[in-house]
Amino acid sequence: MLKNTLMMSNKNVYSQSNNVEMICHFDGDYSDATGNHTLSSSNYVNLSTVNPKFGSHCLDFTSSNYAYLSYTGNMDRFSIQNGELTIDFWINDEFGTSNQVLGGISWSSSLGIGIQLYSSYTILYINGVRNNMSAAGRPAVGVWTHFALVLKDGLYTLYYNGVAKGTIIMTESLNLPVTSFIMGNNGISSFSGKLDEYRFTKKALWDSNFSVPTTPYNL
């Protein structure tokens, strides 16, 4: 287990605002609360008022095949600092179908990060390498699940609802020139469910099991 240096309050979350690169609440729009980025919708990503996790709306990818959000602006801001990052959000996998893509950053055959749900497990692509997280399983169908991917000291840890489900050790640095950011698709497969409260932080927020957030993310 990593040295416990990041714990704050009973949520075990590090919340220094200058490490938060993106927070999206999706309460009626696709805006980034940090003001750093503007996301665009392709193939109509619906902002649904039906059963959001928090607030008034959530993303609903079920209304159109291959719908997704993307950003292709100044990607330098997503560059990893001090070898740490956290990507976390809430998902509601409404159908449980196989081969669903949650999204990625500079995802290609040799670059970046990709997140995918398969038939009974989760797949993480790191620097283009496929890692089958068989022990992690995948989120339950029809309920909101908190997803977190944390990188610290070359160790990627996947959490579902605050519980560590598996780790990946990478000896090489994350190859993340950051050429694109996408949510809900990878150009081949897509996600059929809902997503809420997306956050990208250039810091490892957790280093052990934690209590999931009970309110919308703050800066």
CA distance 215 to 217: 6
56 residue type, one letter: S
Sign of CA dihedral 172, 173, 179, 181: positive
Residue 26 falls in which region: left (phi positive, over 0), alpha (psi -120 to 50) or beta: left
Q: Which CA distances in Å does 86 have to 64, 73, 116, 152?
A: 29, 21, 17, 9
Identify which has the larger pLDDT, 94 or 7: 94
What's the mean pLDDT in 12-30? 75
Q: pLDDT value at position 187?
A: 61
What's the mean pLDDT in 54-63? 88
Domains of the chain plus CATH, in order, are 19-195 (2.60.120.200)
Q: pLDDT value at position 83?
A: 81
Residue 17 is encoded by which pair of tokens?
A: 């605002």
Residues 159-191 pLDDT 10s:
999 999 999 887 666 655 556 777 887 666 778
Full-model pTM: 0.85
